[in-house]
Chains A and B, each alone.
Chain A
């Protein structure tokens, strides 16, 4: 970055171009920011004013009734929230540990079978058995459907993360350190935990973030593998509400029209739905700016071939 200052006279673009570029990105910024602000805005708007004035980012009549609705129905929402938090925390810890161990082993040149294990993981990026055999393995062979493990285990070790982590270890852990620890008689596990992990914290943080995000936003795995309501995470909870909206939309279906009267009653109102959305987006989005550095770093490592 320091270089850019000294070389900037060569690289400078004209003021007009610069202005046009800024203009383009203003539009992009609005496109990306506005929808999220809208969700937050709606969640703080009074329900009746929503109906008369329509949606807007700045509430015409501010109200917290959406959030009191959430509190009144805290039992179900909280349960969903608990599932999400439990799965995210346990899943992330297991995933980072498993990924790091696997990646470290295949990054070591002393490991005789590292080529085999690297290919073993890489191949899963190229070919998969498809949805049905996977579904049968989960439900018929392991019988983990309708258990909490169904949400944690299947996505645990992603090939992409293993390759990112492997590249990270291979480029940032100096051989000399590992070598000297070995000569001092440390076992590989001790070396890994005491020496490699502390110096690889940025890499671990990066995949930790990727994994946290994917567990937090996962609705597909629970949709596939669970049918018990007490295993629904916050995303699946929102999905189930969406199902009712969907029935209302489908005016061609006579049965759904009859059922829709019932559905409307059970449906949380516009504001309340958005309040649940805010809760579902919340932690991830607010944490993001602080972790952006790690995230971008991770992407950069991923861009280097493993």
Chain B
């Protein structure tokens, strides 16, 4: 399998991050992977974190309440509110941190997500736009990615070293 490249961009002026990536599966399959909790739980959290869904109702007006479980068992709860869900095409939602009952933690920034799914032959392209209310919020989120990404990066390095 060839390594696929994700394209990232950061637009500070519009407080927007974009990520575009194509996947080697038909639209229907990729859509399921982004909208069914049993599948999301298997990939959404970057290793060594694990995602665990509590409740999910992926339709307009529905929500997804899940937690990211860290390597030492620490739990970070997140809630996604789905504003618009157009099957196999588009999802518009807001996401933020919360407690296990879904009560929002307002100390952390809210992210507004807009995802578009397009079939391209046998492949599927996913366009993700994440916008923030404030520029500071964007930097906070990137900074948090720093922490998780760093741990994940080390994990990958471990695997690499073990296999060589």
Mutual binders A and B? no
Q: Which residues of A contact B (CB under 8 A)?
A: none
